[in-house]
Structure 1
Amino acid sequence: MPNSAMSALHTKEWNQMIDVNIKGVLNGIAAVMPIFTKQKSGQIITTSSVAGIKSFENSGVYGATKYAVRNIMNVIRMESAKEQTNIRTTTLYPAAIATDLLSTITDQTTKDGLDKLYKNYAITPDAVARAVNFAIEQPESVDIADITIYPTKQEV
């Protein structure tokens, strides 16, 4: 999450986020879609971010890549319903989760602000794991399309 102001023009970081957050998801989808389509069953679970559903300062490109994931997954769900391929999609939208993601931020002002936010609010990754488990445990006729995961204390 190498966030920075758009005016900083960190184009190398922009391209890296596009490669990881969009192309990485697309490559994963391409790997499983033929199998899921053939067997008329499957579940694609991916992680977006609350930045994919709400705009945050210094997160323009990051948020755009996470919104792209949201759109891709919604389209797969719609197309699967139309094509009767029974492919379930689940997109996770975590807020402050205690991971090493903040270590990728190169803009010091942005990093300082997020370090403070995460120190006060971040919850452990097992909250995300439980959400994934919940989505997986549903019967094939049920698609838990979106799960937003906030720390209880976080106001965002």
Structure 2
Amino acid sequence: MPRSSTVPGSKVVLITGASSGIGEATARLLAADGHRVVLGARRAGRLAALAESIGAGGGNALPHVLDVTDPAGVRSFVTAAHDRYGRVDVLVNNAGVMPLSRLDALRTDEWDRMIDVNLRGVLHGIAAVLPIMQAQGGGHIVNIASVSGLRVDPTAAVYSATKHAVRALSEGLRQESRELRVTVISPGLTRSELTGSIGDGAVRAAVEGQMGIAIPAAAIGEAVRYAIDQPAGVDVNEIVVRPTAQG
């Protein structure tokens, strides 16, 4: 049975990219633990259905249409959460795209999209929550990176660059903060809708051919749960989660 959202330790958790994949799985897990989840994503229908499903199971979820590339939209998302619950305890920067391709394919619009969503989107989230977390004397920012932030493979140069940047940004934020906790979670092959953003058919087929070993999105949700459930003085800085069979 889900815990009541009023139990001690219940947190207000904002999740971007919440309409599917890792974001959805994380929202379901944390809501079942009694946390109040605020769901942000572009697809209003999917968000509404997820919030309804969580509510039907006894959880507490607030949907909010969100495009992380829009700074004003991200501020509105955070403000809505703060207005409803009076605080913001955790931000999970999860929204991301992965249109892999070789650099010489010159798919520059896709490069820009990855930079806008994967990096600027994280920055917009940090900028929106940081003043609130500082004013309340604490908070936790969880950035979903990738094992591509630990290595670079052909077709993944720009994607890897954005994920390396997220790891560097997270470490900088951690070092600047004494009242905030900062966690980077780097998934390996995980079942999600990310491959659908790959416009190069040959690359998409190659990536999808590897997905037989992929772990469920809930495995990453479990990593988020572990990090945020630690005592206030314990900051889990980085978690890497791969399929056992992934090289």
Q: TM-score range by the shorter chain?
A: over 0.9
- What residue in structure 2 maps to residue 43 of structure 1? 140
Map 1:20-99; keep pairs closer than 5 Å.
20-80=117-177, 84=178, 86-99=179-192
> Distance between the aligned counterparts of 1:136 and 1:34, measured in 2?
20
Question: For the residues of structure 2 that align with 1:56 and 1:92, how far apart are their CA atoms?
Answer: 19
The one-letter code matched in structure 2 to 1:112 is A
Q: Which runs of 4+ in 1 moved over 4 A?
A: none
- Counterpart of 2:197 in structure 1: which amino acid? T
Higher helix share: 1
2:216 is aligned to 124
TM-fit CA distance, 1:140: 1.2
Determine which of 101, 104, 110 is the counterpart of 1:4: 101
C-alpha deviation, 1:40, in angstroms: 2.2
Whole-Å separation in 2 of the counterparts to 1:52 and 1:117:
19
**SS of match in other structure, 2:162:** helix
How far apart in 2 are the matches of 1:113 and 1:15?
23
- 1:134 maps to a residue whose letter is Y
Structure 2 residue corresponding to 1:13, chosen from 110, 117, 126? 110
Higher strand share: 2
Please give the alpha-carbon distance, in whole angstroms, between the structure 2 residues aligned to 1:107 and 1:49.
20
- Equivalent residue for 2:225? 133
- Which one-letter code corresponds to 1:58 in the other structure? T
- RMSD of aligned Cα (Å): 0.8
Shift of 1:56: 1.1
Q: What amino acid does structure 2 have at the position aligned with 1:95?
A: G
Match of 2:239 among 119, 136, 147: 147
Deviation at 1:36, TM superposition (A): 1.1
CA distance in 2, matches of 1:27, 1:144: 22
Instruction: Give the secondary structure class of the aligned counterpart of 2:236.
Output: coil
Q: Distance in 1 between matches of 2:170 and 2:134?
A: 15
Deviation at 1:39?
Answer: 2.0
Shift of 1:113: 1.0
Measured after TM superposition, the shift of residue 149 of structure 1 is 0.6
